[in-house]
């Protein structure tokens, strides 16, 4: 039986291109496409896929947060991150979220296919161009810098931060997460306090720098 | 059948020869795979940088160039400018994940004949290629996400150009993280005036939150992301 893949990528033409490339592999089957993080979670849950090919910068909910949710709720689903980011912080965060592979978009199709087979088969995969990169060493060398430490805030707080930076109102965010407005207000002030930021504009810029929202 | 071969050679000669430029191999290969499914299009080369694109455009004389805008080293806009300088008749379509007005205008001013967002469907790109190569007969279905330079409308120019000097200053200060009260104090105006300015700015820019104003200001170079 082939590997059933969910493709989560927000740019339609890139998605279509990937589908067209993978269609040439008889053992790989793209069973669904998601254009944002929450759609990826919903589809992964409904369809029982083997692997999620996950872009990291997605609107609505970032790929890292979607990965964390999918790994927590569907332990049998393997996540392979596919991204244009090659900085260490992104890699570390993604692997910490539970992704089993990390591939940069500079890679060739052959490498993508190899990575999919490896991750779906229970292994892990790190882009060839990133190999030799010492994740643990990195973690020891650079202790959390206040300006770039997403682990300062909890996963839920990161999701709230992304919504704020997308321009969603408190009421809308509360509705999305099914909690009270007060809860969101509390979380917002927690986020501000933890990140030592004092305005929506500063939170937005932080979220842009962290790749949670795009310009 | 010998004539069949001859016929297919003739067909090959009629194909639109496309050069794809993108720094991400997977995106390039994906585009190639999609374009090759179109019988009127032939991908003659892929370039992974602006510099390589300029060289290939000169050597291979493609009919159409599909150019990514954000690439390390020389960006797509500079490459478009260079290629247009040497080959003014060669149509270039910018394909970008960025929808900032500033970039669209820069790309078109540099000489791009079209600008497509990566949110577009492949069919839009194929149609755009046929159009700029002069092979698109009939109007066809409406294209989404494409702006061809001759269809550039005034509304596509930066909306903030219509703001007054003070409104622009208020926008910058909002994006810098200042509250209405702080801005009022700084500009020696009432808080009410600043709030009304903010309201006008949001209406003018068609935005509804401080977060969106901040992202707009960064996009348009009115504020820094740091």
State whether A17 and B24 contact (CB < 8 Å). no
Residues of A with CB under 8 A from a CB of B: 10-14, 16-18, 20-21, 24, 82, 84, 104-109, 112, 164-169, 197-205, 208-209, 213-215
Residue B80 tokens, joined? 């478009």
Residue B138 distance to chain A (closest CA, Å):
24
Report residue B71 CA to chain centroid gap: 13
Rg over alpha carbons for chain B, rounded to the nearest Å, is 22
**Residue B205: CA count within 13 A, CB half-sphere:** 28
pLDDT of residue B141: 46
Residue B194 tokens, joined? 């600043």
* Inter-residue contact A62 to A210 (CB < 8 Å): no
Q: What is the DSSP letter of A212?
A: S
- Of B168, B167, B31, B212, residue with least CA distance to A169: B212
pLDDT of residue A144: 35
* Inter-residue contact A180 to A174 (CB < 8 Å): yes
pLDDT of residue A146: 39
Q: At B52, is the secondary structure helix, strand, or coil? A: helix
- Of A171, A49, A169, A180, residue with least CA distance to A120: A49
Count of CB atoms situated within 10 Å of the CB of B90? 18
Rg over alpha carbons for chain A, rounded to the nearest Å, is 17
**Residue B35: CA count within 13 A, CB half-sphere:** 27
Check CB contact of B119 with chain A, cutoff 8 Å: yes
pLDDT of residue B158: 67
Give chain B's domains with CATH numbers: 2-156 (3.40.50.2300), 159-219 (1.10.10.10)
* Inter-residue contact A188 to A156 (CB < 8 Å): no
- Of B13, B16, B32, residue with least CA distance to B24: B32
pLDDT of residue A134: 56
Contacts of A205 in chain B (CB under 8 A): 214, 218, 225-226
C-alpha A11/C-alpha A30 separation (Å) is 16
Contacts of B155 (CB under 8 A, 6+ apart): none
pTM of the model: 0.71
Residue B143 tokens, joined? 């294209």
Interface A-B: count of C-beta contacts within 8 A: 123
Q: Phi and psi for A18 in degrees, rounded to 5?
A: -65, -40
Give chain A's domains with CATH numbers: 3-138 (3.40.50.2300), 146-209 (1.10.10.10)
C-alpha B7/C-alpha B178 separation (Å) is 69
Beta partners for residue B147, in sequence order:
B115
Mean pLDDT by 10 residues, chain B (226 residues): 54 84 95 94 95 95 94 88 94 85 83 87 89 66 45 54 89 93 93 95 92 89 83
pLDDT of residue B154: 41
pLDDT of residue A68: 94
Render each residue's pLDDT in chain A as its tens digit; 215 residues.
799 999 999 999 999 999 999 999 999 999 999 999 999 999 999 998 999 999 998 888 889 999 999 999 999 999 999 998 887 878 888 999 999 999 999 999 999 999 999 999 999 999 988 876 655 444 333 333 434 445 688 888 999 999 999 999 999 999 999 999 999 999 999 999 999 998 999 999 999 888 888 87
Check CB contact of B144 with chain A, cutoff 8 Å: no
Check CB contact of B122 with chain A, cutoff 8 Å: yes
- Of A93, A41, A103, residue with least CA distance to A72: A41
Report residue B148 CA to chain centroid gap: 10
Alpha helix positions (H), chain A? 12-22, 37-47, 63-73, 88-96, 109-120, 135-141, 155-166, 170-177, 181-195, 200-209
């Amino acid at each position: 039986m082939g590997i059933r893949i969910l493709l989560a990528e927000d740019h339609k033409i890139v998605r279509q291109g990937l589908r067209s490339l993978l269609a040439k592999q008889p053992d790989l089957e793209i069973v669904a496409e998601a254009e944002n993080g929450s759609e990826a979670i919903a589809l992964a849950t409904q369809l029982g896929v083997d692997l999620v090919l996950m872009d990291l910068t997605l609107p609505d909910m970032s790929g890292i947060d979607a990965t964390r949710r999918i790994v927590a709720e569907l332990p049998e689903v393997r996540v392979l991150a596919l991204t244009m980011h090659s900085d260490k912080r992104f890699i570390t965060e993604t692997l910490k979220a539970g992704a089993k592979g990390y591939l940069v978009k500079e890679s060739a199709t052959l490498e993508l296919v190899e990575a999919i087979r490896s991750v779906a088969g229970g292994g892990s995969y790190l882009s060839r161009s990133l190999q030799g990169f010492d994740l643990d060493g990195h973690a020891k060398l650079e202790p959390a810098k206040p300006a770039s430490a997403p682990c300062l805030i909890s996963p839920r707080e990161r999701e709230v931060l992304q919504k704020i930076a997308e321009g969603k109102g408190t009421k809308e965010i509360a509705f999305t997460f099914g909690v009270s407005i007060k809860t969101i207000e509390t979380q917002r002030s927690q986020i501000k306090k933890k990140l030592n930021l004092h305005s929506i504009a500063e939170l937005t810029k932080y979220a842009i720098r962290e790749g949670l929202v795009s310009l | 059948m010998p004539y069949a071969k001859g016929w297919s050679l003739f067909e090959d000669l009629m194909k639109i020869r496309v050069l794809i430029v993108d720094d991400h191999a997977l995106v390039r290969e994906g585009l190639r795979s999609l374009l090759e499914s179109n019988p009127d299009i032939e991908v003659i080369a892929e370039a992974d940088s602006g510099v390589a694109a300029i060289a290939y455009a000169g050597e291979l004389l493609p009919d159409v160039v599909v150019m990514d805008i954000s690439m390390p080293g020389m960006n797509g806009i500079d490459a478009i400018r260079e290629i247009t300088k040497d080959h003014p008749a060669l149509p270039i379509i910018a394909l970008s994940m960025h929808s900032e007005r500033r970039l669209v205008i820069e790309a078109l001013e540099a000489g791009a004949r079209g600008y497509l967002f990566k949110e577009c469907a492949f069919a839009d790109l194929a149609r755009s290629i046929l159009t700029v190569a002069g092979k698109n007969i009939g109007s066809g279905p409406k294209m989404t996400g494409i702006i061809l330079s001759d269809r550039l409308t005034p509304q596509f120019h930066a909306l903030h150009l219509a703001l007054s000097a003070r409104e622009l200053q208020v926008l910058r200060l909002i994006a810098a993280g200042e509250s209405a009260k702080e801005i009022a104090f700084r500009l020696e105006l009432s808080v009410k005036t600043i709030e009304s300015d903010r309201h006008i700015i949001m209406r003018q820019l068609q935005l509804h939150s401080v977060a969106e104003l901040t992202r707009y200001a960064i996009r348009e170079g009115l504020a820094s992301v740091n």
